[in-house]
Structures are given as C-alpha cells and as structure tokens.
Chains A and B, each alone.
Chain A
C-alpha cells in the first residue's frame, strides 16, 4: 500500500508533462530548432530549482520520511559512455519525439503505434545489457 504514493506521483508527472506538451514531437522539434523557449524554460527552471532545493536538503542533512539518510545516488562521470550513449539517445529523442517518460504518457493518451517504439527501447536496453562489456565506458 505504501508504494501507491509512487503511483500517485506518476499520475501527477504524467498529467503535468502532457499539459505542458513536452511529450509533443512538435515541441521537441521547436526545441532542436531553437524556435521556442518553452522546453528550455521547463527543463531549465526544473534544474535551477532542483539545484537550490538539493543544496538546502544537503545543508540541513534532511532525512527521508522513513528517517534514513537521503540517497542521492550520484552517477559517476564516464565520458565515453555519457557522450556516445547520450548521442544515441538524442538521435532517438529527436526522431521519436519522446524520451522514456513521454513514451508511456503517449501510450496512456491512446497513441498505440508508440508501443513499437517502446518495444524498440526494450530491445535497446537488452542489447546494451548483452554488449556492455565490449563498449567503451
């Protein structure tokens, strides 16, 4: 039952991304053509506020609601993986118009061909798992 809070946060996240239209292929095109500030405003304001909030949480040594230390789970810098993987991801993002979150939100909106993209993404994850040891990181 406790896990239902994540379902609730997911609903909030899905609804808000849908209403901000950041799940739109056309908004992603606007962004990569630098024709609109919208996407930059959404991501930029989320990050700037995020930086401020995390600094405060860390300074206060804020605990989770369960009383544990917050796990910020810092991901290490791996230049090759970050850059090459990131470039692959960007190619897919601009083509599909959706990153992983929006893929599922669009499915919920009834865009069923997106299931093919989701299947492709699962295959991509599978192939990464199979080839990880042979790729530069």
Chain B
C-alpha cells in the first residue's frame, strides 16, 4: 500500500462516486447537509430559509453517515499508516509554531490540549463557522462546487473555487503565521 493513495487513483474514484450519484438521480455535494441538519431541528417555523421538507434529503444524510463509517474503517480494518508530508511544508510550519505529527492528521496546536481551553474552543468554533457560513453563502463546498460544479463547467463554481483559494491563501500566509 502506497501512502497516501496516489492522486491518479483517488481523483478518478471521486469522479466514480459523483457519476454514481448522478445515475442514482442525486447531485453530489456535502455542505447542503448542514442546511438539512438545521432544518431537522424544526427551526424552519422561525427561519423561512430552513422551511424545507428535510426528510427528502435523508439520502444525503445517509451518505454523510457512510463517510463517518468510512473514516472509522480507515483507521481500523484498513489502517495502513500515513505518508510523508513535504519537508518544505514541515519546515515552514515549524517556523510558525506548528509541530510535525507522525500519527495524526490534525495538529495538536489546534486540536490537542489547546481545544480544551476557552480560547482554543472559540477558535475551532469560529473556524467551523467560516466553513459552514462560507459554504452555504457560496452555494457549495469542495464537493458541490470544485468537483460537481467544475465538472459541469459552471461559471459560478469557478468563481467560488477562486474564492476558496483567496481565503485559503490569506489564512495560510497571513493569518496562521501570527495565530499561535
């Protein structure tokens, strides 16, 4: 097993999932589940945006449940270890206070003990807020815009992906270095 799974396998497999969804009559996109989960609380009676028949989207909630199971399988039955991160990236991260993780996909500086402090909790909450608010505002995330949308040659998806990179580069190069 090569770690990580090479891009020339992973990319086509993602396409396979997207095409399978289309042939089953659904559109591949994860972040709309955030709306569905909000709507399932019954908040639609107060906020019209969530006044949707959320039960029509159970297929997508099942998809998300599947991804959780897939995650569990990947560290149990199919645990194959991790690949190396680019030394240049590690060097850069070390210089701004992040340490390399041998057996973790997330940095301890954000998700370790830091997450139990008040400021650490708030930071993760804000980070999540940006992901959820941004995805719904833009009308999709990496799956709905970058994969489904670009595959369908949608101009709005291209503009969104440009936005993803503006935000990502700003965070990586301007904000993260002064965060810790």
Chain A partners chain B? yes
Q: A10-B64, A39-B7, A51-B153 are in contact. List 4 more A-B contacts (CB 8 A).
A: A18-B70, A82-B138, A85-B160, A86-B167
State A15–B67 Cα separation when bound (angstroms): 7
State A25–B172 Cα separation when bound (angstroms): 11
Total count of chain B residues near the partner, CB < 8 A: 124
Query: Is the CB–CB distance between B147 and A65 below 8 Å?
Result: no
Contact of B170 among A35, A77, A90, A109 (CB under 8 A): A90
How many chain A residues sit at the interface, stated as a range, is 35 or more
Query: Is the CB–CB distance between B73 and A11 below 8 Å?
Result: yes
The residues in B between 1 and 46 inclusive whose CB is less than 8 angstroms from any CB of A are 3-15, 17-27, 30-31, 33-35, 37-38, 43
Question: B-contacting residues of A (Cβ < 8 Å)?
Answer: 3-33, 35-47, 49-51, 53-54, 57, 62, 64-66, 68, 70-79, 81-101, 103-111, 113-114, 116-130, 132, 135
Contact of B82 among A10, A21, A79, A118 (CB under 8 A): A21
User: How many whole Å from A81's CB to the nearest CB in chain B?
Assistant: 6
User: How many whole Å from B128's CB to the nearest CB in chain A?
Assistant: 2
State A76–B159 Cα separation when bound (angstroms): 11
Query: Is the CB–CB distance between A91 and B134 below 8 Å?
Result: yes
Determine the chain A residues whose CB is within 8 A of the CB of B140 once the complex forms: 75
User: How many whole Å from A74's CB to the nearest CB in chain B?
Assistant: 6
State A27–B121 Cα separation when bound (angstroms): 23
Determine the chain A residues whose CB is within 8 A of the CB of B170 once the complex forms: 87, 90-91, 94
**Given A89-B135, A129-B49, A64:B25 Cβ within 8 A:** yes
Determine the chain B residues whose CB is within 8 A of the CB of A10 once the complex forms: 62-70
